[in-house]
Amino acid sequence: GMHGAWLTLVGYGAAFVVFMPFARLSVTAVLRCRADVLALMLAAGWTNLAFVLAVLEGEVVRVVLLFYLSPIWAVLLGRWLLGERLSRSTWVMLGLGLGGALVMLWDPAVGRAPLNRADLLALTAGIAFALNNVMTRRITGLGIPAKTQLAWLGVVVVSAVFILVQPVDLPDAPAFAWWTTVLLGVCGFLLSTLAVVYGVTHMPVQRSAVIMLFELVVGAASAWWLAGEVVTLQEWIGGMLILSAALIAIVQEEQSK
């Protein structure tokens, strides 16, 4: 098989190369907001790499639920970086979201909520995803194609650094696996990233994050159908609390208009 870091590097590298003629990157415009661009690249790089690794190592539903604490982080980052207003319901949202995560992770046998590697990857991927969305909106001097290309470059760089630091050996995979990964990058990563960047550029951070909660439904169905994963009652309760927090985020945004 192919390690998740190599899959991410090759897939997003292919998307980066194919989209290069359409990016219309302006060096001057990039340098003008270089700090924000760097934050965007690092956030995009880590959220994609960490999420892929988490899904490969952990239970899909659990990983996706922890990842989608991202609306909470998006609200806090939106306040800090974009000056978006917060209402008192923010504290309710924070309590529900973090409480849901605690319920889902709690292990009665040890009296605490131990985090495994996949859990940590999913949580940090969600934080990075929120930062990625906020920075995408914050950078107004670059168009959607340019921001997309920079995000992909960030994924390539972060994945390459991860492979060197770990280190991760070059996969002994057949040519079919490599070409399939390239096809995934061009047909999957390219189109999905363009859709995400367009959405978060043209709507408030909270709304875009909640709309993408539909991925949870798809992930749960896929995990049950393809991997035979079963969601426990404890995970259902924690998941409902997390989803409730995410929905409060969009209601809060609507009321602030």
What is the band of 23 on the pLDDT scale with cuts at 50, 70, 90?
A: confident
Phi-psi region of 172 (alpha: psi -120 to 50; beta: other; left: phi over 0): beta
3-state DSSP assignment of residue 174: coil
Q: How far does CA 52 lie from the centroid of its chain?
A: 9
How many other CB atoms are there within 10 angstroms of residue 227's CB atom?
Answer: 11
Residue 229 structural domain: 4-255
Q: Report the percentage of the chain scoring pLDDT > 90.
A: 28
pLDDT in tens, 100-133: 888 877 777 766 667 789 999 999 999 999 899 8
> What span, in angstroms and rounded, lies between the C-alpha atoms of 128 and 123?
9
> What span, in angstroms and rounded, lies between the C-alpha atoms of 70 and 210?
9
DSSP label of 115: -
pLDDT in tens, 141-159: 888 888 889 999 999 999 9
Angle 249-253-257 from CA coordinates, rounded to 5°: 170
> What span, in angstroms and rounded, lies between the C-alpha atoms of 250 and 176?
43
Q: Report which of residues 194 and 140 the model is more confident about.
A: 140
Mean pLDDT of 59-75: 81
Q: Is the dihedral of CA 48, 52, 55, 61 positive or negative?
A: positive
Q: Is the peptide bond before 167 cis (omega within 30 degrees of 0)?
A: yes
In the chain, the number of structural domains is: 1
Question: The pTM is what?
Answer: 0.80
Residue 27 has pLDDT above 80, yes or no: yes
β-pair partners for 125: none
Residue 52 has pLDDT above 90, yes or no: yes
Find the DSSP H helices in 24-143: 27-32, 34-57, 60-67, 70-77, 89-105, 117-138
Mean pLDDT of 169-183: 88
pLDDT in tens, 53-63: 999 988 887 88
pLDDT in tens, 199-241: 766 766 556 655 666 666 666 667 667 667 777 788 788 888 8
Residue 185 has pLDDT above 80, yes or no: yes
Mean pLDDT of the chain: 82
Phi, psi at 163, each rounded to 5°: -65, -40
pLDDT in tens, 79-100: 777 776 666 777 788 788 888 8
Residue 160 has pLDDT above 90, yes or no: yes
Q: Is the dihedral of CA 241, 243, 246, 252 positive or negative?
A: negative
Tell me the CA distances in angstroms from 39 to 82, 112, 114, 147, one per residue in order.
14, 33, 30, 12
Phi-psi region of 207 (alpha: psi -120 to 50; beta: other; left: phi over 0): alpha
Mean pLDDT of 67-72: 80
Res 137: pLDDT: 83
Contact 24, 145 (CB under 8 A): yes
Structure tokens at 108: 């009665």
How many other CB atoms are there within 10 angstroms of residue 39's CB atom?
Answer: 19
